[in-house]
């Protein structure tokens, strides 16, 4: 079945890089996404990658996709306290409406 897994917590020091990992099981995904949820707010799209790409860079964010291992990662360079939030990966399945979310990783940035 379809499943998207993430570790629940990550703690880093301000200025360090953060790497949030995600594994998924469905190989038919078209797009893979990273969403950010700040306290008291809904989810907001951070970045996405098309399934035929290996890497996407967007300012401080780097997304790596390993299709063979079904592994997605989000690297945040120079992590700031404002990056503290819950990060969800999600996959959109080819030809369907369907969107599968991971369990979310709570990132805590220590000053």
Partner 1 sequence: DADVTQTPRNRITKTGKRIMLECSQTKGHDRMYWYRQDPGLGLRLIYYSFDVKDINKGEISDGYSVSRQAQAKFSLSLESAIPNQTALYFCATSDPGTGSDNEQFFGPGTRLTVL
Positive/negative CA dihedral, 23, 29, 32, 37: negative
Contact predicate 87/7, CB 8 Å: no
Contact predicate 48/34, CB 8 Å: yes
DSSP string of 60-93, one letter each residue: TEEEEEETTTTEEEEEESS--GGG-EEEEEEEEE
Taking the least distance from each CB to partner 1, the nearer of 82 and 97 is 97
Interatomic CA distance for residues 16 and 1, integer angstroms: 36
CB of 44 to partner 1, least distance (A): 7
CB of 22 to partner 1, least distance (A): 11
Taking the least distance from each CB to partner 1, the nearer of 62 and 101 is 101
Taking the least distance from each CB to partner 1, the nearer of 83 and 102 is 102
Taking the least distance from each CB to partner 1, the nearer of 14 and 84 is 84
CB of 10 to partner 1, least distance (A): 15
Q: Which residues bind partner 1 (CB under 8 A)?
A: 4, 8, 30-31, 33, 40-45, 48, 88, 92, 97, 99, 101-104
């Amino acid at each position: 079945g379809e499943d998207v897994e993430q570790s629940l917590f990550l703690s880093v020091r301000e200025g360090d890089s953060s790497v949030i990992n995600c594994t998924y099981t469905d190989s038919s995904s078209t797009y893979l996404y990273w969403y950010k949820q700040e306290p008291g707010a809904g989810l907001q799209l951070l970045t996405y990658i098309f399934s035929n790409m290996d890497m996407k860079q967007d300012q401080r964010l780097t997304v790596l996709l390993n299709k063979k291992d079904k592994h997605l990662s989000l690297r945040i360079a120079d992590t700031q306290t404002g990056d503290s939030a819950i990060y969800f990966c999600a996959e959109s399945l080819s030809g369907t409406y369907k969107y599968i979310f991971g369990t979310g990783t709570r990132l805590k940035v220590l000053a």
